Amino acid sequence: MKIVQVTAYYPPHTGGIERYVHNLSRALAGRGHDVTVLTANVPRGRPFETENGVAIERRPCLVRPFNDPFVPSFFRPGESLAGVDVLHAHNAYSCAALSAGVVRRKFGVPTVLTHHGQHMFGHPLKDLFVTLYRGTIEHGLVHRVDRVVTLSPSDAAYVSAFGVGRERISVIPNAICPEDFLPCIGEDTAGFEEAHRLEGKKRVLFVGQISTRKGVDVLLRAVDQIVHEQGRDDLVFLFIGDGDYRERAQELARRHRVEEYVRFAGKVGLCDLVAAYRSSDVYVLPSLSEGMPTVILEAMFFGLPVITTDLPCLRDNFGDHAVLVPPRDEHALARAVTGLLDDAARCRRLSERGKELVRSNYTWDNVVLAYERLYEQMTD
């Protein structure tokens, strides 16, 4: 089967959707499918290349409103559609997805959209735009494609509320590739711990984009509560990732006088990421909106108990396997962090249940089969 994936960004650009499309494309190619990825040439790279059996076409980007690449050639894909069986677009809040709706109408190619969750940014202007977008453009988009994939039942209900029949909606979760970590699992973590001054402390890990959408500001205010209200000095908070909010986050840590307890590591390589998971005690992701984060699956795979926000999509997938706290509530988050770290038995239970959940349900070896069945239904 010939499958074209359309996505705003693709590795080496980093992010959850990028990794999702990369892993799905690689898994499909590994099962003998002809897979092409159309993406923006951001960061600039070779226009055409093949990686892991996947053909990658990086198209020129004209502008990036709200950090979303507008790529004119997405709307006229040309030879990339020759003989294609399925066009698969990602992220309903992207020009890439909008282009797929237009292409579906012009060329009649069977088209599926993976929604990737509801977005809020924690920024008044951006959130106003999202609200307007939902009632107009997103509503039209989900009706222009043949099928919509969501990552959770609650997101399926959200799409259904636009008037999309449930027979056109499939719930297919996110997943990870455990074998990707194998080259790094045997490495000693002592050097990583020393480099980031983690020795002698309980370690709380955040991995993700440094942004208000991911709740970084909320987590830093929770650190303030833990240090200055609870009087704890035995914890260190390690932030892995980068983003436009990083400098402001560092300033917020200084303003709350918690910089001694916070480490901003920036982007790291795979083996350092594995070392961070292996040497931490708890993983925290206090996002304002999410789809189904790869980083939670990774943290659980490495046996970390997880604290995250009580959003419908996260409750669907992790409700019985994680500690859930209300969004934007630094007080509840602070209590959850110290309460979990002080309860060794609960940490062990969450660790074991999380590992079993991911290894049984959320690997790409399993999830790619669901996509194959969907594609076959669309082309019968």
pLDDT confidence of residue 63: 80
Contact between residue 40 and residue 59 where contact means Cβ atoms under 8 Å apart? yes
Q: By three-state DSSP, how is residue 368 classified?
A: helix
Q: Got the DSSP string for 67-91?
A: G--B-GGGGS-GGGGTT-SEEEEE-
In the chain, where are the structural domains located?
A: 2-175+363-379, 183-361
CATH topology of domain 2-175+363-379: Rossmann fold (3.40.50)
Number of helical (H) and strand (E) elements in the chain, helices listed first:
15, 14
Instruction: Compute φ and ψ for 152, nearest 5 degrees.
Output: -155, 160
CB distance 322 to 306 below 8 Å: yes
Per the rule left: phi > 0, alpha: psi between -120 and 50, beta: everything else, 308 is: beta
The enclosing H or E element of 50 equals: strand 48-51
Angle at alpha carbon of residue 237, lines to 244 and 289, rounded to 5°: 50
Q: What is the CA radius of gyration of the chain?
A: 21
Round to whole Å and give the CA distance between 94 and 113: 11
Q: What pLDDT is stored for residue 127 in this prediction?
A: 66
| Predicted pLDDT at 64 | 81
Amino acid symbol at 371: Y
Handedness of CA 24, 27, 33, 37 (dihedral sign): positive
Same fold, 2-175+363-379 and 183-361: yes
* CA atoms of 299 and 302, how far apart (whole Å): 5
pLDDT of residue 43: 81
Q: What is the pLDDT of residue 140?
A: 83
Cβ–Cβ under 8 Å, residues 114 and 25: no
Alpha-carbon gap, residue 295 to 73, rounded angstroms: 32
Tokens read off for 252: 């917020």
Q: What is the pLDDT of residue 248?
A: 97
Q: How far apart are CA 286 and CA 330, in angstroms?
A: 9
pLDDT mean by block of 10 residues, the chain; 380 residues: 94 90 96 96 88 94 78 79 91 86 87 84 65 72 93 93 94 95 91 94 96 96 97 97 94 97 96 97 95 94 98 92 97 98 97 96 94 94
Supply the pTM of this predicted model: 0.90
For residues 5 and 24, what is the distance between their CA atoms, to the nearest angstrom? 9
Provide the CATH number for the domain formed by 183-361 in this structure: 3.40.50.2000
